Chain A
Amino acid sequence: MKIVVTVKQVPDPNSNLTLEADNTLSREKEVVLDPGDECGVEEALQLKEAHGGEVILVSMGPERAKDAIRKGLSMGADRGILITDPQLAGADALLTARALAAAIKAEGPDLVICGTESYDGSTGMVPPMLAELLGAPQVSFAKKVEVDGSNLKVHRQTADGYQVVEVATPALITVTAAIAEPRYASLKGIMAARSKEIKQLALGDLGIERGEAAETIEGLAEAETRKSGVVIEFDGTAIDRIMAVLAEAKVI
């Protein structure tokens, strides 16, 4: 099975986010492979281990997004593709999906694996757009995938449980953190990753032009914060204080 995993480089969730002057997220900070995509890489590697094939990582971002690809390669993926072009700075979901789709089409994979939503973008819109542009069916929120020949059986997480979804490949799935626990890259893996291929593509190579941005950020306001209340120690009176709050809220 030929599997493409889309991987995004994002600000490290363990460091604080900062903003640039133009209100875009600062990329100067520590950056990492999106933790959600790391689960996608892991699932792809497990599918390859069970069924054979190849795992290709595709990312769109600045040059240093290579580090995110390299991370996935050190986990065991076979090769990478980086779409990078100054024109892509601040790309919205549709432009991102168009760029990814063009690169992925050229590979003709059986399965495309994306994260359910990215850590920084959090729109969850790139995957369904990508599926449409690839002409592929999609199953979002996958927490388990079984392969039966050219068919997949996917457990799709829902608000009250899950659905069992059957779909033939080629298909696109988005995975939740429940799908697989990402492995640590071994020293051997890290060494091997150094010599793995990362192909670099620009917009022109993909035959794409940047169009009008779908939206403009007109302003930023501080989110409404709740007034902080009182903080008390758990001592002899704490339970009474909680009970008083519950009574005032009329729930007891």
Chain B
Amino acid sequence: MKIWVVAEMHQGTLAPTALELLARARELGDVEAIALGGGAKAAAATLGKHGAKVVHVNEDAAFDDFIAEPATDALAELYKQGAPDLMLFGFTPDSRDVAGRLAARLEVGLISNAADVAAKDGGFVAKVPYFGGAKIASMKANQKPAIILVRPKSFEASEVGGTAEIKDLAVTIDAGSKRSHIVERVVEASEKVKLEDARVVISGGRGMGGPDNFPLLEDLAGALGGAVGASRAVVDAGWVPYSMQVGQTGKSVRPGVYIAVGISGAMQHTVGMKASKVIIAINKDAEAPIMKMADLGVVGDALKIVPALTAAVKAKKR
């Protein structure tokens, strides 16, 4: 089986999802990765160590500066030279844009939001959270190539050693594909510890009462060396930036400890954090769904519990 892993690049750096996808892809067949944009050649070495046999690269700045269309052109061009059996993308905003356009151009369907991929009867089956996450559907791809988008953090990246052959992917990106122009990038997140990498994540929901109470979570995170996340309800309400959102449409995290504070535990939230090793929930409602999945649930007022816990952690450190 010939498998493509579309390795997302973020202004010169390789996105972690690429290496996660390789961990599974290399079990399914011969893997070729595609890296587009600045830093692609340098990334090829890492992709090789993680199991890519070939890495197709093109460092045209258009891939960094314009949304979706240049990458779609490049992948369609490579496709003309030889179709894979399976194309894997991360289920991330940038890859979603590209995968959707490419599927429409190639006139094949795709499977989105998958949590796992396996080979079956000469084809591929994806596991997709369904029904708000309560069920897992096994979806068989009926067309070739199968295009599957996999949620970040579904697989654990690991090196297997190896060197990829680097091939230049020749494609001209003409003006017709340079339309959605990224003219500025604004960073709002001033996180000391990255949410995705933190050992401890403390997330706040509507039960925090208002944005003015979020510093209580920052204090606890500071004491524990962790990062602060949030539910979509408070992101939509404008209390905190989207960069802090955990869940289906936010980030997926799997820290050692996840503390959900004033979060009810809707499926769309828990799909992004239920792989955490230990879950602690603080909620005034003993019946909130999050309490049923927590290793420890504490029933009470978050605004009292969080400061008390912060004080205890600080006292312990002294």
Spell out A's residues near B (CB within 8 Å).
Answer: 17, 19, 23, 25, 92-94, 97, 116-117, 122-133, 137-141, 143, 156-168, 171, 176-178, 212-226, 228-234, 238-243, 245-246, 248-252
Complex: chain B residue closest to A161, CB-CB:
B188
- Complex: how many Å from CA A159 to CA B253? 13
Spell out B's residues near A (CB within 8 Å).
Answer: 67-69, 72, 93, 96-105, 107-113, 125-126, 129-143, 179-189, 199-200, 224-226, 232, 235-236, 238, 241-243, 248-249, 251, 256-257, 274, 277-280, 286, 291-301, 304-305, 308-309, 312-313, 316-317
Complex: chain A residue closest to B225, CB-CB:
A251
Complex: chain B residue closest to A133, CB-CB:
B104
- Complex: how many Å from CA A222 to CA B2? 32
> Do A242 and B296 form a contact, CB below 8 Å, given A178-B236, A251-B256?
yes
CB of A220 within 8 A of CB of B137, answer yes
CB of B243 within 8 A of CB of A231, answer no
Binding site secondary structure of chain B: mixed
> Do A214 and B186 form a contact, CB below 8 Å, given A167-B180, A251-B199?
no
> Do A212 and B142 form a contact, CB below 8 Å, given A219-B137, A231-B297?
yes
Query: In the complex, what residues of A have CB within 8 A of residue B181's CB?
Result: 165-167
* B291 interface neighbour in A124, A157, A231, Cβ under 8 Å: A231
Q: How far does the Cβ of A127 sit from chain B's closest Cβ, in whole Å? A: 7
Query: In the complex, what residues of B have CB within 8 A of residue A249's CB?
Result: 256-257, 277-278
List 5 tightest A-B contacts by C-beta distance, closest first.
A214-B109, A128-B100, A234-B300, A137-B179, A123-B112
Q: How far does the Cβ of B261 sit from chain A's closest Cβ, in whole Å? A: 12
CB of B100 within 8 A of CB of A164, answer no
CB of B141 within 8 A of CB of A25, answer no
Given contacts A131-B68, A160-B187, 20 further A-B contacts (CB under 8 A): A122-B112, A128-B97, A129-B100, A132-B72, A132-B105, A138-B67, A138-B97, A156-B67, A160-B243, A164-B186, A165-B67, A214-B141, A215-B111, A220-B137, A222-B135, A228-B292, A229-B279, A230-B295, A246-B224, A252-B317
CB of B141 within 8 A of CB of A215, answer yes
CB of B312 within 8 A of CB of A243, answer yes
Query: In the complex, what residues of B have CB within 8 A of residue A178's CB?
Result: 235-236, 238, 242
Q: How far does the Cβ of B251 sit from chain A's closest Cβ, in whole Å? A: 7
CB of B179 within 8 A of CB of A239, answer no
Complex: chain B residue closest to A214, CB-CB:
B109
Q: How far does the Cβ of B137 sit from chain A's closest Cβ, in whole Å? A: 5
Query: In the complex, what residues of A have CB within 8 A of residue B108's CB?
Result: 94, 214
Q: How far does the Cβ of B171 sit from chain A's closest Cβ, in whole Å? A: 17
CB of A221 within 8 A of CB of B113, answer no
Complex: chain B residue closest to A166, CB-CB:
B181
Query: In the complex, what residues of B have CB within 8 A of residue A97's CB?
Result: 104
Query: In the complex, what residues of B have CB within 8 A of residue A130's CB?
Result: 104
Q: How far does the Cβ of A174 sit from chain B's closest Cβ, in whole Å? A: 9
- Complex: how many Å from CA A93 to CA B111? 9
CB of B296 within 8 A of CB of A25, answer no
Instruction: Pick 27 A–B contacts, CB within 8 A, sort by A.
Output: A94-B107, A94-B110, A116-B249, A122-B112, A125-B103, A128-B68, A129-B100, A129-B101, A131-B101, A137-B67, A138-B68, A140-B96, A159-B93, A159-B243, A164-B186, A165-B180, A167-B180, A178-B238, A218-B139, A218-B140, A220-B130, A220-B136, A228-B293, A232-B298, A234-B301, A248-B278, A249-B277
- Complex: how many Å from CA A161 to CA B248? 18
CB of B112 within 8 A of CB of A252, answer no
- Complex: how many Å from CA A130 to CA B101? 8
Query: In the complex, what residues of A have CB within 8 A of residue B111's CB?
Result: 214-215
- Complex: how many Å from CA A251 to CA B96? 35
- Complex: how many Å from CA A249 to CA B139? 36
- Complex: how many Å from CA A116 to CA B136? 22
CB of B299 within 8 A of CB of A159, answer no
CB of B308 within 8 A of CB of A233, answer no
CB of B189 within 8 A of CB of A161, answer yes
